[in-house]
Amino acid sequence: MATIGILLITKNADKTLRKCLDSVQNWTDEIVILDSGSTDNTLQIAKEYTKLVYKKTDWEGFGVQRQVAQSYLNTDWVFAIDSDEVVTPELKASILHAIKKAELDTCFSINRLTWAFGKYIRHSGWYPDRIVRLYPRTYTEYNDSKVHESVVIPTNTKVKKLNGDLLHFTMDSLSHYTSKTNLYIKSWADQREGKKSSSLGKAISHALFRFFKMYFIKLGFLDGKHGLLLAILSANTVFTRYADLWIRKIKRNGDDINLP
């Protein structure tokens, strides 16, 4: 029988962690949780579900954190999940069926359905949202990206689709959104500082394009007021990313920002 282990990285996730772990508890062989310094009840909840709870507080980015978490697993297959995600019964059945016969040069993608501000978002470029999350442990791992990390797909790998959705309960308030995106913005700029050029003009143009793409090209208007809000917030995030990169360049060069 092929074995499957859960790879989970956490920090201050006590609001969503229990629901996440309930959805994977009874059909997986191992659950590994790597925490990066929680100050809430995350660790207490984690220890109710697994003995394989570890800490790594010297933050090197999401990719490295997932690599370290994987090093504690011993199963044939890895299923990476976030603390604000829940496996549906259909997805669970699809996963168990897939690993029975799959060869160890196969990775599987899942479809995430995101809940944001009280509604499932089915457009805006957020759905369908296929990402590789199930893969053979000894075959591959996550890359080194500080943010927006992904599983490395070796050449000639077969990538197959799983049925069912992975429910993603990402944001329930603007303060929650801000706290999450601040880390992503900083990590994005850290990764590109000195390698990617930016300017205030680029910040504005990229932000405007992001809004147009999400709201019109990706049919965000079909998500109603939520689609409009998400397009505005996403554009603001893009603007802040490029503006941060531009300000860092100015500081690095010892220049002043000339304001009117």
Domain boundaries, given as residue ranges, for the chain: 4-171, 174-253
Q: Which residues have a Cβ under 8 Å from the Cβ of 154 and sit 6 or more positions away?
A: 105, 139, 140
Percent of the chain with pLDDT over 70: 98
Kind of pairing between the strands at 130-136 and 106-116? antiparallel
Q: In the predicted model, is pLDDT for residue 257 greater than 60?
A: no
The SS3 of residue 52 is coil
**Parallel, antiparallel, or unpaired: how do β-strands 53-55 and 30-35 relate?**
parallel
Looking at the chain, how many residues does it have? 260
Cα-based angle 90, 91, 95 (whole degrees, multiple of 5): 120
pLDDT tier for residue 260 given thresholds of 50, 70 and 90: very low
Task: Work out the average pLDDT over 198-216.
Answer: 97
pLDDT value of residue 12 = 95
CA distances from 237 to 34, 124, 246 (A): 28, 15, 14
Report the 10 Å Cβ neighbour count for 119.
14
The H or E element containing residue 85 is strand 85-87
Q: What pLDDT is recorded for position 251?
A: 87
What integer best gives the mean pLDDT of the chain? 95
Strand pairing class (4-10; 77-80): parallel
Q: Which of 116, 128, 130 is nearest to 218 (CA)?
A: 128
pLDDT digits (tens, 9 = 90+) for 47-96: 999 999 999 999 999 999 999 999 999 999 999 999 999 999 999 999 99
Cα gap 241→189, rounded to integer Å:
6
pLDDT of residue 77: 98
pTM metric for this prediction: 0.91
What is the C-alpha separation between 75 and 78, in angstroms, rounded?
A: 7
Residue 191 token pair: 């990764």
Which residue did the predictor score with more confidence, 259 or 156? Answer: 156
pLDDT at 256: 56
Amino acid at 143: N
Confidence bin at 176 (pLDDT 50/70/90): confident
Average pLDDT over residues 19-48: 98
CATH class of the domain whose range is 4-171:
alpha beta
pLDDT digits (tens, 9 = 90+) for 124-148: 999 999 999 999 999 999 999 999 9
Structure confidence by residue, pLDDT tens digits, 228-251: 999 999 999 999 999 999 999 898
